[in-house]
Structure 1
Amino acid sequence: MRIVANTDVCVGAGQCVLTDSAVFDQDDDGTVAVLIENPEGQRLDGAREAVTLCPSRALSLVED
């Protein structure tokens, strides 16, 4: 699975970073930055949660 972030719709709420700061970060404008594009195990679980929590639906998971 691969994390895809649509930075054009990101509102900078930071829910992804709060879910797993090892996988997600925010740039100076607050826009999501994906640190681990292909998370595995527990990181994948956190990425799934972040996708669900994202208020702007800027995050998605896609099959490789």
Structure 2
Amino acid sequence: MNWRHESILDGTTFEFPRTGFWIIHVFGGLFLMLLGMRTAVRRAPLPIVAYRLLKMLRQ
């Protein structure tokens, strides 16, 4: 007897990529997001200074 469970992914575009493919893309996305957050934190003082200056000028 030949018993095979049909997957909902069979015949779709998600069928080909395996677990390693998705792991690499998830970690790559996380890496890019963290790199962007690191850059944003490093450049944060300038917007804060500008906000405080504008707030001071409004008073």
TM range (shorter): under 0.3
Normalised to the residue count of structure 2, the TM-score between the two structures is: 0.26
Normalised to the residue count of structure 1, the TM-score between the two structures is: 0.24
**Larger of the two Rg values belongs to structure:** 2
Pick 1 or 2: higher relative contact order, CA cutoff 8 A, min separation 6.
1
Q: Which has the higher strand share?
A: 1
